[in-house]
Structure formats: structure tokens, C-alpha cells
Amino acid sequence: MNFQRAFFLIIAFTVLLAGSTSIFYGCKNFSGPTETTTTTTTDTTIITPVVTQPVTTSSVICFSSQVLPLLQSNCGMSGCHDALSRRDGYDFSTYQTSVSRGVVAGNADRSAIYTITVSTSRSRMPPSPYNALTDAQRAILRQWITEGAKNTNCSPTACDTSSVTYARTILPALQTYCVGCHSTASPGGGINLSTYAGIKTVATNGKLLGSITRQSGFIAMPPSGSLGSCETSQFRIWIRGGALNN
């Protein structure tokens, strides 16, 4: 009898041990394999960049011919951000002074001289009632900063004198070099170059060509320096053709 009881106890202990082992391995497998396996997958996720502002399509923006005149005409007027006034510490008279404040090379969205031009608040520059920068002007400023805010001085390209028009040639040049000081809100010398009518008046009476060619008896314009020979030729052609609104 004692032998039978001992035999059944051994059988029961064996069954219990087997069950415990099964439970142990079951928990181990639930926790994960002990060996590391590597699975190679192909990531097909497409990330679409967010474009916050337009960027011009030209490869390099020239500081000397595109950015500096824009800053001087729209921001570097007397009493604002010229070499004498330096309001809020900003001076757009040279490359060195232009990048000394408010410019984070390579990041337009962190550069105050750009972000303040796209602001919709009362802090926008140029301030009201002066004209805001055009989309094209803001795009030039943004791309220049994105490209590293370098002191670029590009070599002259071929001069197009065969298809000179008011809309494509004359107006953009005036917006870059002149309108900041000669707008409806700030008609320097009584001259408003922000409308075709105002431009046609000085084109017809000789003041426009006399100033940009720096003839005796005229106030030299733009004050920051002479226009290039190509732009001067384009103005001559347009005026001689009747200064049309084309």
C-alpha cells in the first residue's frame, strides 16, 4: 500500500513538473525571443516639403545688383535705416552693415530683415503708408538669405534691348531702385514713381533719363550709385519709343 502511494506521488510530481516547464517557456516566448533577428524593409514613405514662401528660379541672387538696391530704396531712406539714421541699429548702406543685424545666413525664417517684410501686423516693414515689398522682391530677399546671404557680385549677362517693355523691364527696375523714395506715400522731390502716370510724366519731361544718366542740372539717381549700362540703355530705348504702358 505504501509502495502504491509512493508510486502515485512520483507520477503526480512528474506531471506537475512538466506543466511548470511548459508554463515557463510559454512566458518566455510571450516576452520575446532571446535571439535577435533582423528584418529588412523598404521605406516607401514620401515626405512632401512645406513651402511657406515662393523662391525665385534663378541659380544665384546677386547682392550688389538685386538685394542692396532693394534694401536701400525701400528701407535705407534718410531718417530710417541709412548710414546716418541707423534706426533700431539697422544700416543698409553697405554689405557689411546690411548683414550685421537681423540676418541668419541660410535661414530666412529666422532673419528679421525678411520676416518683418511678410508680417501682417503693424510692425511690417516698410511701415504703412509706405508700400510693402512686392512678392517678387520678398522672393529675392528670401532666396539671397537661403543661399547664405553672401556678398555676391555677378558678372553681367547678355543685355536684352530687343524686347524692352514697361511691365517687364522698366517697372521692375524702378521698383528696385526708386519707388521706395518716390512713392505715393513718400514722393521725394514731388516725384511719384509708383504709378505709370507719374513715371510717364518724368519720362516725357526728361527728368528720368537726366537723373539716371547723371547729366548736369539733374539730381543723380539712384543716390546709391549709377545704373548699369544695360539698364540705362533699356531706359533710353523705352523713352525713345514713346514710354508706352506695354
Helix (H) or strand (E) holding 27: helix 2-31
| Paired residues of 18 in beta bridges | none
Let me know if residue 114 belongs to a domain. Answer: yes
pLDDT digits (tens, 9 = 90+) for 63-90: 988 899 889 888 877 778 878 888 899 9
pLDDT at 156 (0 to 100): 67
Given 155, 181, 210, the domain boundary residue is 155
Let me know if residue 47 belongs to a domain. Answer: no
Helix (H) or strand (E) holding 38: none
Same domain, 171 and 203: yes
Q: Which domain range does residue 214 map to?
A: 160-246
- Ranges 10-24, 32-46, 54-68, 181-195, most confident: 181-195
Residues 55 and 146 sit within 8 Å (Cβ to Cβ): yes
How many C-beta neighbours within 10 Å does residue 219 have?
A: 12
Let me know if residue 24 belongs to a domain. Answer: no
Given 155, 188, 211, the domain boundary residue is 155
Same domain, 70 and 111: yes
pTM of the model: 0.61
Spatial distance between the Cα atoms of 139 and 116, rounded to a whole number of angstroms:
13
Given 127, 155, 183, the domain boundary residue is 155
How many C-beta neighbours within 10 Å does residue 66 have?
A: 20
